[in-house]
Chain A
Amino acid sequence: MIKKIGNLNKNKIISRRLFVLVAAKIGLIGIVTSRLYNLQISQKQKYEVLSDKNRIREWKTPPQRGIITDYFNNVIADNQRVYQVHLSLEEVSNFNNSIFKLKNIISLKEDEIKKIYEKKEKSKPWDTLIISENLSWKEFSKLNLYLHELDGAKPVLSTSRYYPYSNDLVHVVGYVGDATAQEIQNKKKIQENFVPGLKVGKIGIENSKDTDLIGNHGTKRYEVNASGKKISEISYNKETQGQNLRTTIDLEIQQLAQELLKNQAGSICVMDIFTGEVITMASSPTYDPNKFTHGISNKDWNEIKNNKLRPLLNKSLAGLYSPGSTIKPLVALAALEYGIIDTKFKVNCKGHDHPYELYGERYHCWKKNGHGWMSMRNAIKQSCDIYFYEVARLLGVDKLSLIAKRYGLGSKVLEDFFSEEKKGIVPSTKWKKQVLDQSWYLGETVITGIGQGYIQTTPLQLCLMTAQLANGGYKIKPNLIYDKEINLDAIKSKIESEKNKSVSQNILKDHEFKYYERLYRNPNNLKFVLDAMYGSTNEQFGTSFRSRHKEDKYKFAGKTGTSQVKRITDQDRELDLELEEIEYKSRDHALFIAFAPYDKPRYSLSVLIEHGGSGSKAAAPLANKLIKKILDRHGLREKIRKDLKNIA
């Protein structure tokens, strides 16, 4: 009986204890449930993202660069099919081994192998390494033959930059190369679209317009497993090609200009005097931009770098030269505008025996026997130095500087488009005080009058100056990339309205001019100067008379210039050596500026031959050939202009 009671008691205890246990279990189930709820319902999105991050990996695909064409749609920077070999790192079992095998098949050089190892250090384990960017067809087919032995190696058909007119446009278009760490860091567009092997612009348009040209990279999303192996492609956001660019360059004229400059150091610039379109910007010597695309070899680089004629220097806008006598029309214009003298003002040029004298310093004319009594027109036409010494003296350097700047000297023509473009120097008393901390001497004014001394200009500035004289004295906007905002008819009507605008005396003071505003006070002054330039080319005794066109439609006006690179001593004058007898580096630079056609000006040009001797002998004859070509192509260019306008 006791036992029975004990059993009942025991039964009760067990049941009670079980009850406690079950209650605890229910509590624990509650905890697990709330945890699951928390993970799967509350934090679902967070874990979904993490899960996708786990399983999805992105690969960037390189964009194709935009195509660059000339004004006539001739491709001047293209994308060309190239054969490459890539190495997919995650598929390579033994990297050293693979490189060794590849080396034997596609003949990699030691320094190339070193670069590959450097690149590998920086790569992620699932990256693809570009082993060679540009294989020959022979190497490529050999690679395909041995492919089964090369784990991870992939023959790839890709595209790369190609410049079909190699040397002719390098100073305009520039070239591309691998992005440096600095470029990736500093340029947002490059950073955003960086893909191993991406080429970026280094100089020229390729550099200036890189942001437009690069395009946008694509993204391939793959599902990968825990060890990173690609399982399937999930999505492919295709890369987009960079913007295509139409330049204002006329390929044929550019090529002719380069041809004319062959074997010489120099520059030829051609510009539309209304639209400001740079039609040609040739610089010589040139080099092949294609060599830079896949990294230039040391040998080629040294060859370019050590060339005495400095091919790397873009002489059109980074070469600085004294303008010489090409400045004379501007000096005359300044003197007329300020009313210092009139066109009838005369100076007697008496030859080397009786030079111009100022405070005991003697200044010679280039002509040994002198020009005799010179009026302004004759002085420009025959480029009499004595006349301009006197005009400059009367005018003063500050007024000359003001007008020179107004017509385009002393500032960058293409603004910041080319990083290497130089401003040049247009000296003034203020400038000298500021920069050299010295007072101005009158003697310096005198030589500035013939474009010597401190004054420094680029050939492109001279071309712009000529354009702004030839268009009747209106400020234009130089441009190298076709811009549909720049409309010839609109410009012409704007100029027409400016013509009749009454001008205040303020026009002779320093102030900012807007585009297409008139720069002159009296139109007759300009007309006079342009007519004198006509005389210089088309009348006997004119300095460029021998380079004239007899046919009316090709008739142009110009001004020669010979810029000294060193001071001419009395001994030099005595010797009067022929060009060939002077050491190359001491020979004068030959310059020529011109506009055409004379009766209805449309184009301006500047020619510079470094150490070419006199402007009339070395530079002006080139203008003759160029102008014929330019005017022959005028109709075609206008047709394209009309078509482009209609599209817009």
Chain B
Amino acid sequence: MILSTSLNSTSYSFIDKLKAIDYFLIIIVAIIGSISVFSIYSTESGNFSFYTKNHLTRFLVFFSMFLVISFVRVSFWYRQAYIFYILGILLLLLVIFFGISASGSKRWINLFIMNLQPSELMKIAIIVCFARYYHRIQSSDIQSYKYLLQPIILLLIPCYLVITQPDLGTAILIAGSGLAIIWLAGLNLKYFIYSGLILLVSLPFVISILKPYQKSRILTFFNPDRDPLGAGYQIIQSKIAIGSGGLLGKGFLQGTQSYLEFLPEKHTDFIFTLFSEEFGFVGSMLLILLYALLIYRIIRIGFFSRSFFAKLYCYGFASALFLYIFVNIAMVVGLLPIVGAPLPIMSYGGSSMLSIMLGLSIVMSCKIYSRDPIGN
């Protein structure tokens, strides 16, 4: 009790907090945000209409939210970590009963001001939850079955709920984020190898329970020309768009593939394709560099944090963020099957933006309250 009071009593003046803010990170987010607005503007052939307006509004709202929530003490997140997780699960259950369906899957809840996709929030919740979980466990205990089983169950529940929506992409991202923290916490390498082998062995079974469209996506991945006007269309057109962009791209608003509507889902999953078509190899590399800087800043914050929670969270979030970006880009350049994973900040979509900004504000909170020892 005494310990906890002394913890909470760690005080920061407002000036201290302002000084502690990582402005560099904010600037990077703002830059990526601006690029995303221009990209969405380009998907509408240079008309400032529905998508651009919505995206701009969302970005401004959630960016502001990010800045405000950054001042919430990191210990709050620590304390509420499991609540956050449970809330996420409840929302996922709510989707089953009250969800809105679109193009064959039930992923959203109508919140009147926006359609919330709980699986996106779950991506953050699982990181917070696991950070807290491993925060307290001694490194010597991590290898015990008790501490191995608990997080696996915690991870499987949301993954199962998301897969059944069905949303394979998000489920993979949630699982990947969770596994990243388990890895960081120090679980023996052999477990990863074993589970990897088990996954490989059970692959035929997994494929057999996949939905037909998911199967065709995977088959298409291996041979896009199998059905160039059907399942392979997206990836073929995406590669054409990116490839024809060349070194410097076709120029802003000049991307013929997207302008002439050859590119599907250009606002959401294929926004990188549009950007890459218009700004070429150089533009793509600059965007990837911005993302790398963002991840670097997040890791750096974790590095200078004192608590394990903050460290695990920052490293975990950075890894998750990397995973989102990698999966999305690898998908649109044809390195991975099309699974439906948005590009953080760039893609059109409120829930994704919300979860990224929320995740970032917890990172920022770690930075501002880096001296908070939390729970030790």
Among A29, A33, A51, A227, the residue within 8 A (CB) of B261 is A227
Among A13, A31, A36, the residue within 8 A (CB) of B284 is A36
State whether the Cβ of B92 lies closer than 8 Å to any Cβ in chain A. Answer: no
- On whether A32 and B243 interact (CB within 8 A), knowing A6-B138, A18-B184, A21-B319, the answer reads no
State whether the Cβ of B280 lies closer than 8 Å to any Cβ in chain A. Answer: yes
Among B222-265, those with CB < 8 Å from A are: 237, 239-247, 256-257, 260-262
By the criterion CB–CB under 8 Å, are B326 and A41 in contact?
no
Closest approach, in angstroms, between the C-beta of B267 and any C-beta of chain A?
15
- On whether A14 and B185 interact (CB within 8 A), knowing A33-B285, A36-B284, A223-B256, the answer reads yes
Interface residues of B (CB under 8 A from A): 138-140, 180, 183-186, 237, 239-247, 256-257, 260-262, 276, 280-281, 284-285, 288, 292, 295, 299, 302, 308, 311-312, 315, 319, 322, 326, 329-330, 333-335, 376
Q: Which residue of B lies closest to A56 (CB)?
A: B256
Would you give 30 A-B contacts (Cβ < 8 Å), ordered by A? Answer: A6-B138, A6-B140, A9-B139, A10-B139, A13-B139, A13-B186, A14-B315, A18-B299, A18-B315, A20-B183, A21-B315, A25-B319, A32-B288, A32-B333, A32-B335, A33-B285, A35-B330, A35-B334, A35-B335, A36-B276, A36-B285, A40-B247, A47-B239, A47-B240, A47-B244, A50-B240, A51-B240, A51-B243, A54-B257, A231-B260
Q: Which residue of A lies closest to B256 (CB)?
A: A55
Which residues of A are found within 8 Å of B311, using beta-carbon distances? 11, 14
Q: A41-B247, A44-B244 are in contact. List 11 more A-B contacts (CB 8 A).
A: A10-B308, A14-B312, A28-B322, A29-B292, A31-B335, A32-B326, A36-B284, A40-B242, A47-B243, A51-B257, A54-B240
Interface residues of A (CB under 8 A from B): 6-7, 9-11, 13-14, 17-18, 20-22, 25, 28-29, 31-33, 35-37, 39-41, 43-44, 46-48, 50-52, 54-55, 223-227, 231
Which residues of B are found within 8 Å of A46, using beta-carbon distances? 243
By the criterion CB–CB under 8 Å, are B243 and A50 in contact?
yes
- A224 CA to B256 CA, complexed, in Å: 10
Which residues of B are found within 8 Å of A17, using beta-carbon distances? 183-186
By the criterion CB–CB under 8 Å, are B335 and A40 in contact?
no
By the criterion CB–CB under 8 Å, are A37 and B183 in contact?
no
Among B139, B262, B335, the residue within 8 A (CB) of A55 is B262
By the criterion CB–CB under 8 Å, are A48 and B244 in contact?
yes
- A22 CA to B319 CA, complexed, in Å: 8
- On whether A14 and B308 interact (CB within 8 A), knowing A32-B326, A55-B262, the answer reads yes
Which residues of B are found within 8 Å of A40, using beta-carbon distances? 242-243, 245-247, 276, 280-281, 284
Listed from nearest, the 5 A-B pairs whose CB atoms lie closest are A47-B243, A51-B244, A13-B186, A40-B281, A225-B260
Closest approach, in angstroms, between the C-beta of B105 and any C-beta of chain A?
24
Among A22, A37, A39, A223, the residue within 8 A (CB) of B260 is A223
By the criterion CB–CB under 8 Å, are B335 and A37 in contact?
no
By the criterion CB–CB under 8 Å, are A39 and B184 in contact?
no
Which residues of B are found within 8 Å of A231, using beta-carbon distances? 260
By the criterion CB–CB under 8 Å, are A36 and B240 in contact?
no
Which residues of A are found within 8 Å of B295, using beta-carbon distances? 25
Which residues of A are found within 8 Å of B285, using beta-carbon distances? 33, 36
Q: Kindly name the residue among B262, B288, B292 whose own CB sees the greatest number of chain A CB atoms within 10 A.
A: B262
Q: Which residue of A lies closest to B311 (CB)?
A: A14
Closest approach, in angstroms, between the C-beta of B229 and any C-beta of chain A?
11
- A50 CA to B257 CA, complexed, in Å: 10
By the criterion CB–CB under 8 Å, are A39 and B239 in contact?
yes
- A47 CA to B262 CA, complexed, in Å: 14
Among A32, A41, A54, the residue within 8 A (CB) of B246 is A41
Which residues of A are found within 8 Å of B302, using beta-carbon distances? 18
Which residues of B are found within 8 Å of A54, using beta-carbon distances? 237, 240, 256-257, 260, 262
- On whether A22 and B241 interact (CB within 8 A), knowing A36-B281, A51-B256, the answer reads no
- A39 CA to B277 CA, complexed, in Å: 11
Which residues of B are found within 8 Å of A31, using beta-carbon distances? 330, 335
Closest approach, in angstroms, between the C-beta of B78 and any C-beta of chain A?
16
Which residues of B are found within 8 Å of A39, using beta-carbon distances? 239, 242-243, 333
- On whether A33 and B244 interact (CB within 8 A), knowing A18-B299, A25-B295, A51-B257, the answer reads no
Which residues of B are found within 8 Å of A33, using beta-carbon distances? 285, 288
- A494 CA to B73 CA, complexed, in Å: 115
- A227 CA to B261 CA, complexed, in Å: 8
Which residues of B are found within 8 Å of A37, using beta-carbon distances? 281
By the criterion CB–CB under 8 Å, are A10 and B319 in contact?
no
Which residues of A are found within 8 Å of B281, using beta-carbon distances? 36-37, 40-41
- A21 CA to B315 CA, complexed, in Å: 9
By the criterion CB–CB under 8 Å, are B239 and A21 in contact?
no
Closest approach, in angstroms, between the C-beta of B58 and any C-beta of chain A?
27
Which residues of B are found within 8 Å of A18, using beta-carbon distances? 184, 299, 302, 315
- A7 CA to B374 CA, complexed, in Å: 13
Q: Kindly name the residue among A21, A44, A51 whose own CB sees the greatest number of chain B CB atoms within 10 A.
A: A51
Which residues of A are found within 8 Å of B242, using beta-carbon distances? 36, 39-40, 47
By the criterion CB–CB under 8 Å, are B260 and A224 in contact?
yes
Which residues of B are found within 8 Å of A44, using beta-carbon distances? 243-244, 246-247
- A223 CA to B302 CA, complexed, in Å: 52
- A10 CA to B138 CA, complexed, in Å: 7
Which residues of B are found within 8 Å of A47, using beta-carbon distances? 239-240, 242-244
- A50 CA to B240 CA, complexed, in Å: 6
Which residues of B are found within 8 Å of A14, using beta-carbon distances? 184-186, 308, 311-312, 315
- A233 CA to B261 CA, complexed, in Å: 18
- A43 CA to B247 CA, complexed, in Å: 11
Q: Which residue of A lies closest to B259 (CB)?
A: A225
- A48 CA to B139 CA, complexed, in Å: 55
- A231 CA to B261 CA, complexed, in Å: 12
- A39 CA to B333 CA, complexed, in Å: 8
- A28 CA to B237 CA, complexed, in Å: 23
Q: Which residue of B lies closest to A18 (CB)?
A: B315
Closest approach, in angstroms, between the C-beta of A190 and any C-beta of chain B?
32
- A31 CA to B335 CA, complexed, in Å: 9
Closest approach, in angstroms, between the C-beta of A43 and any C-beta of chain B?
5
